[in-house]
A and B are shown apart, each in its own frame.
Chain A
């Protein structure tokens, strides 16, 4: 009778289409964001995240359409991230049917945006997404720095200090992406999770490095409240129901 650890598939969406690593033979159109969202909702996902990787403004309107169509048929929480730069952007997404938004680079460029969004819509709608990697630089006393541009550029910020600041400014949840682990498939970044968890009082979503079912439990034990992954779910390397059964065996509370 406690809060369940959440399993969150993440879909990269470009111009309304799911891109990167989707391999579903039983879907008519595996690139259809709405179809895929529906599939996950029916197969045990506790929440869904859409990451809009479109470059152009026109495509942002396409994303709104995708969110609308998804929210019409999927009755689990939906978070949308990617390219959100203003309170107006958030307003449009929430009206379209998103429950939460995640911001990353725009918050680094303009930290005040966190306060503005939280004040207008409440902290619970705002996920601060942080791409962290190991660093020996002076600006990263915690041993981890914040990066931008998919982990290729340093933002010149300490990951721990920035996470704390973002939460203090009003972020209601932290999406912690390990850029060192991202794509490696050799497990979540336990060191990073353990560094951040005791220093914040909001829920923590761990991301980056999931490769097999046994990778998830250590991240929960390290303090993650939710686990996000993309390719292992998209390629059906891991079925969410099998993952939950395994977590349950380890006495982790999950939603059946």
Chain B
């Protein structure tokens, strides 16, 4: 039985590729912004390209915050991609404008300190031990295109709950390339544009859903 995945459609850039990528690795994919559909899917993808503020505007329009909250409370899987990862943090700070994110994770998204921006192209990820998402593609390069990022995630584990797995990349400075935190995962890079390595990662995520 193929798993049923929904890509949240809130008017952000190229979402066709993520849809096709997931189909390629065996998912049954629907592109939707219907509240119930997004809530009930086995896995939900939050895509995102462009500005943080514009993405949050689109996400809020379709009650994205509520959808993500309810899903995570029910231990249902969510994967944020690119700005879809950034919006999981507290705030986005772009061009002097502070925009509230979905605040699933503490910390702000800020500009990367690098001589050349956007960080555009294929880069390595320092994969933390125990990753399910990167299984088999730990040493591969992934496709990034962004100028902003969360630099770290300060979230401790407890006796009962594992601390999030944090995977970093470097361009000028170190930043978070991906996080695995229970039902909530995210990648700053685009797995749907990262060739075979990216498809493997999507397949790995699908496996966990």
B119 within 8 A of A: yes
* Given A75-B198, A124-B50: A225 and B121 interface contact (C-beta under 8 Å): yes
Q: Once the chains are docked, how many angstroms separate the CA of A73 from the CA of B21?
A: 8
Does B122 lie within 8 Å of A3, measured CB to CB?
yes
B61 within 8 A of A: no
Does A122 lie within 8 Å of B51, measured CB to CB?
yes
Q: Once the chains are docked, how many angstroms separate the CA of A82 from the CA of B125?
A: 35
In the assembled complex, 26 residue pairs joining A and B whose CB atoms fall closer than 8 Å, in A order, are A1-B124, A2-B123, A2-B124, A2-B170, A2-B171, A3-B121, A3-B123, A71-B16, A71-B17, A71-B20, A72-B16, A75-B17, A75-B193, A75-B198, A76-B143, A76-B193, A76-B194, A77-B143, A94-B14, A122-B13, A124-B147, A173-B120, A202-B117, A202-B118, A203-B120, A226-B121
Interface residues in A9-48 (C-beta closer than 8 Å to B): 41, 46
A52 to chain B, nearest CB (A): 17
* Given A68-B16, A71-B17, A71-B20: A3 and B119 interface contact (C-beta under 8 Å): yes
B178 to chain A, nearest CB (A): 15
Does A77 lie within 8 Å of B170, measured CB to CB?
no
Q: Once the chains are docked, how many angstroms separate the CA of A120 from the CA of B145?
A: 16
B159 to chain A, nearest CB (A): 34
Bitwise interface map of A from 190 to 219 toward B, beta carbon under 8 Å scored 1, else 0 = 000000000001110000000000000000
B3 within 8 A of A: no
Chain A residues lying within 8 Å of B54, measured Cβ to Cβ, are 122
Does A75 lie within 8 Å of B171, measured CB to CB?
no
Of chain A, the residue at the smallest CB distance from B21 is A75
Count residues of chain A with CB under 8 A from any CB of chain B. Answer: 35
Does B120 lie within 8 Å of A124, measured CB to CB?
yes
Q: Which of B14, B119, B122, B126 contacts A95 (CB 8 A)?
A: B14
A255 within 8 A of B: yes
Q: Once the chains are docked, how many angstroms separate the CA of A255 from the CA of B196?
A: 12
B108 within 8 A of A: no
B134 to chain A, nearest CB (A): 15
Q: Which of B119, B170, B199 contacts A75 (CB 8 A)?
A: B199
* Given A2-B170, A41-B195, A76-B143: A121 and B123 interface contact (C-beta under 8 Å): no
Q: Once the chains are docked, how many angstroms separate the CA of A122 from the CA of B193?
A: 18
Q: DSSP majority for the A interface?
A: loop
Q: Which 3 A-B pairs have the closest CB atoms?
A: A122-B50, A97-B16, A4-B122
Of chain A, the residue at the smallest CB distance from B15 is A95
Q: Which of A95, A124, A256 contacts B118 (CB 8 A)?
A: A124
Interface residues in B146-180 (C-beta closer than 8 Å to A): 146-147, 170-171
Does A201 lie within 8 Å of B141, measured CB to CB?
no
B165 to chain A, nearest CB (A): 19
A154 to chain B, nearest CB (A): 30
B107 to chain A, nearest CB (A): 22
B115 within 8 A of A: yes
B12 to chain A, nearest CB (A): 9
Does B49 lie within 8 Å of A201, measured CB to CB?
no
Of chain A, the residue at the smallest CB distance from B146 is A124
Does A255 lie within 8 Å of B122, measured CB to CB?
yes
Interface residues in A74-126 (C-beta closer than 8 Å to B): 75-77, 94-99, 120-125
Does A1 lie within 8 Å of B120, measured CB to CB?
no
B116 within 8 A of A: yes
Q: Once the chains are docked, how many angstroms separate the CA of A32 from the CA of B106?
A: 49
A6 within 8 A of B: yes
Does B49 lie within 8 Å of A122, measured CB to CB?
yes
* Given A122-B50, A124-B147, A125-B50: A99 and B193 interface contact (C-beta under 8 Å): yes
Of chain A, the residue at the smallest CB distance from B52 is A122
* Given A3-B123, A46-B121, A122-B51: A95 and B16 interface contact (C-beta under 8 Å): yes
Chain A residues lying within 8 Å of B24, measured Cβ to Cβ, are 75
